[in-house]
Amino acid sequence: MTIARILATKGRDVVTAQPHRTLLEICEILAARRIGAVVIADAHGQLLGILSERDIVRAIGQAGASALDDPASSHMTTEVVTISENETLLATVEKMNNGRFRHMPIMKNGRLDGLISIGDVVKFRLAEMEREQSALREYIATV
Ligand code: AMP
């Protein structure tokens, strides 16, 4: 299964925030949208980094609640690993496992074109396995 197929069902919306937004503002976005990470982009939508709940917890753990006033740019990850929609679900899981992160932006022609989380991966992989299983059962029943 390709990432393009997942995006066709899930949609290509990506929640972004600009780098000057404070961690508190990012927390408000994460809570309102019920998500675990935001892509940090400039006013033109150019990818600058990614900031997840882990980064916020680490910042508060190290500096205390005052970290909530810091800009996203001071705690985001700037070396963002991205994929294209032509990659497979399996290749994507491998990249997430190797990098130990749960979010993966999808890029097309240098622009953001979607985001999938480990939750999406698990959901779509389970559905795929169920389809494979029932196809096998049907096949066995006919031989
Ligand atoms: P996560 O597991 O996605 O909540 O993120 C764990 C750590 O990896 C945080 O420091 C994130 O900023 C970072 N991170 C999340 N997604 C990516 C990604 N696609 N590429 C690089 N770093 C990431």
- pLDDT at residue 128 in the model: 85
**Residues 74-89: tens digit of each pLDDT:** 999 999 999 999 999 9
Task: Say if ligand 1 is within 6 A of residue 101 CB.
Answer: yes
| Minimum-distance ligand 1 atom for the alpha carbon of 101 | 2
| Residue in the block written with tokens 């690993």 | 81
Rounded distance from Cα 89 to ligand 1 centre (Å): 18
Instruction: Count CB-CB contacts under 10 A for residue 18.
Output: 14
Per-residue model confidence (pLDDT) at position 127: 87
pLDDT category at 1 given cuts 50, 70, 90 is confident
| Three-class SS state of 112 | strand
Beta strand 47-52 with 111-117 is unpaired
Q: Does the Cβ of 30 fall within 6 Å of ligand 1? A: no
- This prediction has a pTM of 0.91
Domain boundaries, the chain: 3-142
CATH superfamily of 3-142: CBS-domain (3.10.580.10)
**Amino acid sitting at position 68:** L
CA of 127 to the centre of ligand 1 (A): 25
Nearest to 43 by CA among 67, 19, 70: 19
The answer, yes or no, to whether any atom of ligand 1 lies below 6 A from the CB of 103, is: yes
CB distance 73 to ligand 1 below 6 Å: no
pLDDT band, very low/low/confident/very high, at 51 (cuts 50, 70, 90): very high
Q: Is the CB of 102 under 6 A from ligand 1?
A: yes
Report the distance separating Cα 121 and Cα 99, nearest Å. 15
Predicted confidence (pLDDT) per residue in 87-126, tens digit:
999 899 999 999 999 999 999 999 999 999 999 999 998 8
Which has the minimum average pLDDT: 3-17, 48-62, 78-92, 119-133? 119-133
CA separation, residue 119 to residues 8, 29, 58, 103 (Å): 16, 19, 22, 9
| Phi, psi (deg, nearest 5) at residue 5 | -70, -35
What's the gap in Å between 136 CA and the centre of ligand 1?
A: 37
